[in-house]
Structure 1
Amino acid sequence: MKNIVLGLVFILGCNTHIWSQEPDALMINTFNRKTTSLNGVWHYIVDPYENGYYNYRYEPFDQQEQVSANAYFTNTKAQRPSDLIEYNFDESDTLQVPGDWNTQKEKLYYYEGTIWYKKSFDYTKTEDSNRVFLYVGAANYKTEAYLNGKKLGAHLGGFTPFNFEVTDLLKEKDNFIIFKIDNKRSKEGVPTLNTDWWNYGGITRDVKLVETPLTYILDYFIHLDTEDNHIIKGEVNLKGEANSAHEVTVEIPELGIKKKLVTDASGQGSFEIKSRKIDYWSPENPKLYEVSFSTNEEQLKDQIGFRTISTQEDDILLNGEPILLKGISLHEESPITKGRANSRADAEKVLGWIKEMGGNYVRLSHYPHNEHIIRLADEMGILVWEENPVYWTIQWNNPNTYANAENQLQEMMQRDKNRAAVIIWSMANETPVSDVRTAFLTNLIKTARKIDSTRLISAALEQSSDPNNPNIKHIDDPMAELVDVLSFNQYIGWYGGTPDLARITEWEITQNKPVIVSEFGAGAKQGLHGDRNTRWTEEYQEYLYQETLAMLQKIDQLKGMSPWILVDFRSPRRPLPNIQDDYNRKGLISEEGKKKKAFWVLKGFYDTWNKSGNK
């Protein structure tokens, strides 16, 4: 379609009215599909006033019959010397994708607002009848996506994937993708305005084109039956020709399994397979099987482990046996680039430290992390807590906020529901008790259980002090009745008192459920030494860990912990010069990769903490 430049306005053709739309149904397992990477160098334009999106009346260009040539998503070039075009992507600076803009360009370190990204490419399909999707691993926070000047749609949320079908818009030559990425925080957002981590902006995870046949495997979920661990159950969902049944073959060659099923008119089918030869996945034996799904048009493979996770009274059971979760919390920052983590090398480094610590478990805080770390945890045998970014105080009574939170939860679960390492879906962190908050989280739990009944549900709950004795703590959060595992954060000795207060603090927990202490810790500047009662020294942090671990062992129901935190991470709430310098210093390892004394305290504890727990 030829664009005709008319002064400052050009006509987009017959279908000129372009409206925002939701992404297409999220496909899973892009790791094993035919893909073309669009990572690498992208041109960018900083647009704090959003001049490339709104006209001077603050009306969106992409919702107008005649669109200004100065709408950045058109990528318009001047055709005549008299044309007034006030931008040029091809002569603008560049950023690497994936990557945050804050750590790539010093001038963007604190920037919150809109930046436009542009990438040009050629593409030829392997089969003319095939479909092509644009898949984005994550972009923070609101993304408006355009291909060749046409709007694909928009996505909200900075930590989950999304995709748009682009089949009909692709050309063999001279395609251009433009993203408007806006990382401004908002009251109605998820998370909301106030967090304790860096608001990295940009296209922070992989971007790729995914090519599929006309009817393709959109989704599948394969797992052990919760009642009989000799039965493998599964569901498959195809997308393509409507009202047409298709045969799907499920194979697990190592188990000698080959099962055929026929999908219904909606593209859905299910199966059950019995096998007494299953080698169950565990931290000691992270066994993954190659599983393939085949239709007449497509074969898709995945690497899947089989295990059960459940609770029985105050025990957590992995494959029917009690397990202690020896863990640590982690933010998604790269130990290599010091920005937002996005690579397998990042994951190898941090998960290697957890193994060195004697850990078997990681709490991925406070949002879904990238798929590399989830898949590597599968390979290495590290159990995973994944968390929806419902954090602190958000707009509990706002229907749009709830819809956003639910959508991010669904996208997280959709991507990772076939990973054996993931054992806990967390709904929220440190949310103050109220009726509207409890209703909000209750509905999220209902959604999570509907999608996946095979995993545990938790959240970092609120706790309270006994009115007659402030040194006795309770969990009286109403969410305690709905979760499978009781989890709470506590900072005795850091935000309240000094570490010796731990000696006289006790928990009286009335619910007969396992307990995971989801956070505890203290700040320390690596290399700063002094008396154990001097804050910010390694000795203070070491002392707090010693006293806290002794205190927590008094909790009979304690079955896991994830202290705060593995590595120091950036936070704008931490400005103390020469100590914090924009870093939360509660890490057991500095941002430079140097271990603090408390690392070895926790390692010593994990080396001796056994499955008998505290009984």
Structure 2
Amino acid sequence: MRKVINLNDAWKFIKENVQDAMNQVYDDANWESVNVPHTWNAIDGANGFDFYKGACWYRKEFTVDTINAGNKVYIEFNGSNSVTDVYVNGQHLGQHRGGYSIFRFDITDVVTFGGKNTIAVKVDNTVVEDVYPQMADFTFFGGIYRDVNLVIASHVHFDLMDHGSQGVYIVQDEVTKEQASITLKTRLTNDHEEEKKVRLWADMLDAEGKTAAYGAKEIVLPAGQTTVVELPIKIENPILWNGRKNAYMYEANLSLTSYNDVIDELSIPFGVRFFKVDPEKGFFLNGEHLRLNGVSRHQDRKDMGWAITKKEHKEDMEFIKEVGATSIRLAHYQHDQYFYDLCDREGMVVWAEIPFISIMSKTELEGINAKQQMVELIRQNYNHPSIMFWGVQNEIQIGGNRPEVRKLVKELNELTKKEDPTRLTTQANVMFVPDTDEYNYITDTIGYNKYYGWYQGKAEDFAEWIDAYHATNPQVSLGISEYGAEGIIQYHTNDPKVKDYTEEYHTLYHETVWNIFADRPFLWSTYVWNMFDFGANIRDEGGVKGRNNKGLMTYDRKIKKDAFYMYKANWSDEKFVHITSKRFVDRADEKITVKVYSNCEDVTLVVNGTTYTTERNRAAFTFNDVALEDGMNTVKAIGTSEGNTFEDTAHFNKVDEPNPSYLVPESDGGGVVANWFDMPDLDEDMEIEELVITDDVYSTRNTLGELYKNEETKKVLEKYLKGFNEDNPMFGMAEGMSIDMLASMADDIFTEKMMYAINKELIKIKKA
């Protein structure tokens, strides 16, 4: 019978690459004592560009009871970033390349039963050319950051070496409200030296533990082989997995028996459902339209990095449920199995993806590792009913318009459809991919990462772009895979503007954009970027190093920003009242505007004990010209709904002068692009003349990558874009962008004079 023995406790760790650490006889007494999950970047991974990258070692002693002799023994890692070499008793078991999936090694022939065994693990989070991700806007935390287990199994068992999967696939051939036709596709391994006759049993239990369907088959398993065995099952009048309305789960109890012995068994929760996406009407679950009001999630947390436990996963899910989301984009890699389990149980529709992001390798052009990670993602997560979309890439066009990238995206889509034809494929295009580019037609659905109102233009620009795209591509199912703005709760203003980092702009942005999305039901999904602030070592803006601050909640999950409540008012049925800008305490105004988010029918404002007025609205209640007295003022909002009342209170301090700490320092403002360059002083008397730009010369239409490859154009960039070169941590994110694109993201930096000056020199240089 199968046993799973957790090995998380009592490891020894050293933050360096040491010689001979793999040997069974090695003195690790002076190493640090740690428990798994563990990362060596818990602190430095979200505090600036300089975080530790390199090889580190873990060691642990363990025993395998003699009662298990004669069985197979496997070591299982649920997540180790990113290149992991495993040794048991001094012998190298193998290497796993990729930091997010489950992997196992067979240690049967090297383990000592009844005695001490030593496992030594070298983990290296250095970026290498043939492992993804190559470059991304999040920190690559190193370490064994998910569970480690021993798995003991009979020599006849459900396959444990199938890319980290369960060895069982619950294939939903056809699901209707009347019947669910399922094929249990099992991989059965016989490691004996002779053939074995076994019986496969399958009991499909409903949520009450009653048998909903069953099946059985006798099989003769050839010696030393893995055999694929399929078992058809039908569930009559199934209760469908129906998102947050009713995330109904069945359980597949599978066993292998030989005579009177159960030699292996698995219990796999699953749900049955059918779904589709319509380019005009959006997403449908079980025949009914469901708006995918989504948030994106990264797995790290302040002072923990990726080394989080079930407690933190559960807390994240509770916050996502509270905001009222119906869908989660689990970016930009495979997440912990426990979180997918939570998505199943809580009814979240999931977009799952691999870390084929930003830049493709410059030397490994077949995408071997990207394909490996896609197969692992699908096979390990096949049985989760919550997953309905497989993502094949995110912003991979940042690395430039390379034919090998296009080829690999197509191959990943084809691989995904071959591995799992029951689900839909998708991808997240970077914002500058043209509306008619072939990227829009490769996958079943499309998402765009668009940042109007932060990196480009204004929030209102979403409406024009979405409508134009839909008119151009009426056959394409369009979603918004990312949208957001930085929001730092230290900064506040009465006059919010693009790139001011204030909580007020962050809130206004989301309110504006959501209203645009809400009026366009053909969008199959929208995903806020991001549910939580997260570690991004290459960033330095708004006075915060190593952090992306676009979350609806802070990195430590302690504070819900005002925008959180804006979405809760629009998405959730849980009644509440929330006064915005409560952290904007000091006010130098005689009168202020008070905004309240609520999903109550009406809200009454009470100021210093006196009822001000009552408003009725949908989600945002605005009270203008609220007079403040000198000193501290108490403002209370009271909402009513179906005879119940809900309250929130804020305190505003009337002061003589504005509090300067509420504004971002000038040196930290202006957006991310502004922090990349030291711009030169231009001649104030410069006259701008009309320039003729032809295709045979360089110009600001070319990408940074193209311009830095040519020595002459490189000198022009070094003159005007001082301090920005191949060594800059953001170079990899920017090399696929043209200077024109950068100018659209920072027109206050790339002024008309600046663009004229750069082009005047570039057009003198002929292309080869």
TM class by shorter chain equals 0.7 to 0.9
Q: Please report how far the alpha carbon of residue 345 of structure 1 lies from its aligned counterpart in structure 2 after TM superposition.
A: 1.3
Corresponding residue for residue 72 of structure 1 = 21
**Structure 1 residues 575, 492: CA separation in 2 closer, same or farther (over 3 Å shift)?**
same
Q: Please report how far the alpha carbon of residue 298 of structure 1 lies from its aligned counterpart in structure 2 after TM superposition.
A: 1.6
Q: Kindly indicate whether the alpha-carbon contact (under 8 Å) linking 2:180 and 2:238 is maintained by their aligned counterparts in 1.
A: yes
Aligned length: 536
| CA–CA distance in structure 2, aligned partners of residues 441 and 156 of structure 1 | 20
Q: Kindly indicate whether the alpha-carbon contact (under 8 Å) linking 1:226 and 1:454 is maintained by their aligned counterparts in 2.
A: no
Q: Give the counterpart of 2:530 among 543, 565, 577.
A: 565
Corresponding residue for residue 508 of structure 1 = 469
Q: Kindly indicate whether the alpha-carbon contact (under 8 Å) linking 2:365 and 2:404 is maintained by their aligned counterparts in 1.
A: no
| Greater C-alpha Rg | 2
Matches within 5 A, 1:319-468: 319-334=286-301, 338-395=304-361, 398-399=364-365, 402-432=367-397, 433-462=401-430, 464=432
Q: Please report how far the alpha carbon of residue 537 of structure 1 lies from its aligned counterpart in structure 2 after TM superposition.
A: 0.6
SS at structure 2 position matched to 1:176:
strand
Q: Give the counterpart of 1:532 among 496, 513, 517.
A: 496
1:596 pairs with 2:596? no
Corresponding residue for residue 587 of structure 1 = 551
Q: Please report how far the alpha carbon of residue 451 of structure 1 lies from its aligned counterpart in structure 2 after TM superposition.
A: 1.4
Q: Give the counterpart of 1:206 among 125, 143, 147.
A: 147
SS at structure 2 position matched to 1:303:
strand
1:178-220 C-alpha deviation (Å, 9 max, x unpaired): 001110012333110x211111000011001001111101211
1:300 pairs with 2:263? no
1:556-599 C-alpha deviation (Å, 9 max, x unpaired): 5212111100011111122237x323210000101232011111
SS at structure 2 position matched to 1:544:
helix
SS at structure 2 position matched to 1:298:
strand
Q: Give the counterpart of 1:234 among 169, 180, 184.
A: 184
Q: Please report how far the alpha carbon of residue 169 of structure 1 lies from its aligned counterpart in structure 2 after TM superposition.
A: 1.4
Q: Kindly indicate whether the alpha-carbon contact (under 8 Å) linking 1:462 and 1:476 is maintained by their aligned counterparts in 2.
A: no
| Range with bigger deviation, 278-287 or 494-503 | 494-503
| CA–CA distance in structure 2, aligned partners of residues 480 and 505 of structure 1 | 15
Q: Give the counterpart of 1:258 among 193, 214, 220.
A: 214
| CA–CA distance in structure 2, aligned partners of residues 504 and 424 of structure 1 | 27
1:483 pairs with 2:443? yes
Q: Please report how far the alpha carbon of residue 278 of structure 1 lies from its aligned counterpart in structure 2 after TM superposition.
A: 1.3
| CA–CA distance in structure 1, aligned partners of residues 68 and 478 of structure 2 | 54
| CA–CA distance in structure 2, aligned partners of residues 585 and 525 of structure 1 | 6
Q: Kindly indicate whether the alpha-carbon contact (under 8 Å) linking 1:513 and 1:557 is maintained by their aligned counterparts in 2.
A: no
| CA–CA distance in structure 2, aligned partners of residues 41 and 535 of structure 1 | 47
SS at structure 1 position matched to 2:538:
coil
| CA–CA distance in structure 1, aligned partners of residues 420 and 67 of structure 2 | 36
SS at structure 2 position matched to 1:395:
coil
**Structure 1 residues 76, 338: CA separation in 2 closer, same or farther (over 3 Å shift)?**
closer
1:417-457 C-alpha deviation (Å, 9 max, x unpaired): 10111111100101215432121011111211111111111
Q: Kindly indicate whether the alpha-carbon contact (under 8 Å) linking 2:277 and 2:524 is maintained by their aligned counterparts in 1.
A: no
Q: Give the counterpart of 1:225 among 170, 173, 176.
A: 173
Unaligned stretches of 5+ in structure 2?
Answer: 160-166, 258-262, 574-598, 600-768
Q: Give the counterpart of 1:41 among 7, 10, 13.
A: 10
Q: Kindly indicate whether the alpha-carbon contact (under 8 Å) linking 1:343 and 1:372 is maintained by their aligned counterparts in 2.
A: no
State the AA in 2 paired with 1:358: G
Q: Please report how far the alpha carbon of residue 464 of structure 1 lies from its aligned counterpart in structure 2 after TM superposition.
A: 4.9
1:74-95 C-alpha deviation (Å, 9 max, x unpaired): 1435xxxxxxxxxx31221223
Q: CA RMSD in A?
A: 2.5
| CA–CA distance in structure 2, aligned partners of residues 558 and 104 of structure 1 | 39
Q: Give the counterpart of 1:100 among 27, 39, 43.
A: 39
**Structure 1 residues 150, 317: CA separation in 2 closer, same or farther (over 3 Å shift)?**
same
| CA–CA distance in structure 2, aligned partners of residues 129 and 308 of structure 1 | 44
Corresponding residue for residue 17 of structure 1 = none
| CA–CA distance in structure 1, aligned partners of residues 66 and 371 of structure 2 | 35
State the AA in 1 paired with 2:388: I
**Structure 1 residues 316, 503: CA separation in 2 closer, same or farther (over 3 Å shift)?**
closer
Q: Kindly indicate whether the alpha-carbon contact (under 8 Å) linking 2:44 and 2:51 is maintained by their aligned counterparts in 1.
A: no
| CA–CA distance in structure 1, aligned partners of residues 61 and 106 of structure 2 | 17
1:37-56 C-alpha deviation (Å, 9 max, x unpaired): 11023112232xx452xxxx
Q: Kindly indicate whether the alpha-carbon contact (under 8 Å) linking 1:40 and 1:98 is maintained by their aligned counterparts in 2.
A: no
SS at structure 1 position matched to 2:122:
strand
1:209-251 C-alpha deviation (Å, 9 max, x unpaired): 0011111012111132236553122201111247555321111
Corresponding residue for residue 91 of structure 1 = 30
| Range with bigger deviation, 226-235 or 272-281 | 226-235
State the AA in 1 paired with 2:567: L
SS at structure 1 position matched to 2:247:
coil
Corresponding residue for residue 518 of structure 1 = 481
| CA–CA distance in structure 2, aligned partners of residues 188 and 492 of structure 1 | 34
**Structure 1 residues 504, 445: CA separation in 2 closer, same or farther (over 3 Å shift)?**
closer
Corresponding residue for residue 612 of structure 1 = none
1:170 pairs with 2:170? no
Matches within 5 A, 1:6-155: 34-47=3-16, 50-52=17-19, 71-77=20-26, 88-103=27-42, 110-155=51-96
SS at structure 2 position matched to 1:40:
coil
**Structure 1 residues 144, 40: CA separation in 2 closer, same or farther (over 3 Å shift)?**
same
1:486-535 C-alpha deviation (Å, 9 max, x unpaired): 21110001011343544654432314233221100000112422131161
Q: Kindly indicate whether the alpha-carbon contact (under 8 Å) linking 1:100 and 1:201 is maintained by their aligned counterparts in 2.
A: yes
| CA–CA distance in structure 2, aligned partners of residues 492 and 450 of structure 1 | 36
Q: Kindly indicate whether the alpha-carbon contact (under 8 Å) linking 2:13 and 2:59 is maintained by their aligned counterparts in 1.
A: yes
SS at structure 1 position matched to 2:246:
coil
Q: Please report how far the alpha carbon of residue 394 of structure 1 lies from its aligned counterpart in structure 2 after TM superposition.
A: 1.1
| CA–CA distance in structure 1, aligned partners of residues 265 and 155 of structure 2 | 13
| CA–CA distance in structure 2, aligned partners of residues 456 and 434 of structure 1 | 25
SS at structure 2 position matched to 1:562:
strand
Q: Kindly indicate whether the alpha-carbon contact (under 8 Å) linking 1:132 and 1:212 is maintained by their aligned counterparts in 2.
A: yes
Corresponding residue for residue 250 of structure 2 = 289
| CA–CA distance in structure 1, aligned partners of residues 513 and 62 of structure 2 | 55
| CA–CA distance in structure 2, aligned partners of residues 492 and 439 of structure 1 | 29
SS at structure 2 position matched to 1:91:
coil
| Range with bigger deviation, 273-282 or 403-412 | 273-282
1:364-388 C-alpha deviation (Å, 9 max, x unpaired): 1111111110011111111111111
| CA–CA distance in structure 2, aligned partners of residues 407 and 504 of structure 1 | 39
| Range with bigger deviation, 419-428 or 441-450 | 441-450
| CA–CA distance in structure 1, aligned partners of residues 420 and 204 of structure 2 | 22
1:317-354 C-alpha deviation (Å, 9 max, x unpaired): 2223222111100101137x542154221121111111
| CA–CA distance in structure 2, aligned partners of residues 256 and 548 of structure 1 | 45
Q: Kindly indicate whether the alpha-carbon contact (under 8 Å) linking 1:183 and 1:199 is maintained by their aligned counterparts in 2.
A: yes
Q: Kindly indicate whether the alpha-carbon contact (under 8 Å) linking 1:137 and 1:207 is maintained by their aligned counterparts in 2.
A: yes
Q: Kindly indicate whether the alpha-carbon contact (under 8 Å) linking 1:526 and 1:595 is maintained by their aligned counterparts in 2.
A: no
Q: Kindly indicate whether the alpha-carbon contact (under 8 Å) linking 2:446 and 2:476 is maintained by their aligned counterparts in 1.
A: yes
Corresponding residue for residue 11 of structure 1 = none
